[in-house]
Amino acid sequence: MGGRRQKYREPRPGIYIIGEGKTERFYFEHLKKIFSYQYFVRPRFFGKACADNFKKIISDLLRGGIQIICVFDADQSKRVAAENKKLQQLRNKYHKNKNVLFCDSMPSIEYWFLLHFEDICPDFGSSGALNMLKKYIPRYEKTESFLNHEKWIRDMSLKNGSISNAETRARKYKDNCSSYSKIYLAISIFNRNSTLEFGL
């Protein structure tokens, strides 16, 4: 006999974070606890950095009362022409949909982390942001054993660094620098505690 089939559960209304990997997942999980932000983070919405996966998750989730924030590193897609084309098609598809927001970082989310400590916008190499970040978080590494601890995000956001400085700096560099992070758009939404259309 087959196992009992699980009943499908409609996703609850609200903001959902989807993304490419464990760094993004743990960051938003911890951030939610630290600041009491209101959004959903589920492990199944992270892990595969490709436009096809984002397309499927958005299609599965998007319905009335749901907003989606998609976070990912832009450097990987820009290195592969076919992937970059798919991602651009996905952006174009949802360009006028105010319930879908793409929050990419170039070259990676580590640049967003770096902005918590430093007002800087260099032209990074592939691992430049990560290497510079270790000046401020010496033990930083993209492993579950490190990322799983909330303290590094709490310290980065409120103690040794400043999330509000990161937001200000990301806004300043959004249009005139080869490095950028659009995560400040998500932070702005969380701070408004908005359940309305993103309208950004």
Q: Where are the domains of the chain?
A: 14-192
Q: What is the pLDDT of residue 7?
A: 57
Report residue 75's pLDDT band, with 50, 70 and 90 as the boundaries.
Answer: confident
Give the tens place of pLDDT for each residue, 15-74.
Answer: 999 998 899 999 999 999 999 999 999 999 997 778 999 999 999 999 888 999 999 998
Omega within 30 of 0 (cis) for the link into 107: yes
Instruction: Please give the structure tokens belonging to residue 33.
Output: 């606890």
For residues 122 and 99, give the distance between their C-alpha atoms in angstroms, rounded to a whole number: 32
Q: What is the pLDDT of residue 193?
A: 66
For residues 195 and 66, give the distance between their C-alpha atoms in angstroms, rounded to a whole number: 9
Of the candidates 85, 86, 50, the residue with the CA atom closest to the CA atom of residue 70: 50
For residues 105 and 15, give the distance between their C-alpha atoms in angstroms, rounded to a whole number: 20
* pTM of the complete model: 0.89
128 vs 169, residue with greater confidence: 169
